[in-house]
Amino acid sequence: MATRRKRLPFGKIDEKKNGLFCASYMRTDGVRYSAPQPFQARAQAESFLINIRNKMSADDWEAPKSKQEQKLDSILFNNYDKQHLKERELRETSRGTYFDSFRNHIEPYF
């Protein structure tokens, strides 16, 4: 629970009981976005909000990805499988057979 809250012309900063500052802002779509991490100082949180506002003004802002989207981006099945085949202890003939099977039967559907 926040102990103090300060509203700014753009966004808001909450001071938590542990002394960290959480910044958030609302886009015209009505969705509230939060900073990816809390800040040690109020000035850092304000700087974050100013930076976001400047990006929005310049049409250079993109909505942050959700944690689920970030996870999907970091692990693509295609990349995982190729890496898995490289790292696994297999005879070269087995590795080749598995790689060919993946390339011919699975990869076309991804």
Check pLDDT > 60 for residue 102: yes
CA dist 74 and 80 (Å) reads 10
Of residues 106 and 91, more confidence is placed in 91
The tokens for 80 are: 């995982």
80 located within any domain: yes
Q: Are residues 71 and 104 in the same domain?
A: yes
DSSP-assigned states of every residue in 51-71: HHHHHHHTT---PPPPHHHHH
Range of the domain at 46: 2-57
49 located within any domain: yes
62 located within any domain: no
Burial of 52 (0-12, 13-18, 19+ CB in 10 A): buried
Q: Are residues 82 and 48 in the same domain?
A: no
Domains held by the chain: number: 2
Lowest average pLDDT, out of 59-68, 71-80, 94-103, goes to 71-80
pLDDT one-digit tens code per residue, 26-68: 877 788 888 889 999 999 999 999 888 888 888 877 777 666 6
Which three-class secondary structure state does DSSP give residue 16? strand
45 located within any domain: yes
Among 33, 57, 81, give the residue marking a domain's end: 57
Q: What is the pTM of this model?
A: 0.54
Check pLDDT > 80 for residue 71: no
Query: What's the confidence (pLDDT) of residue 40?
Result: 94
97 located within any domain: yes
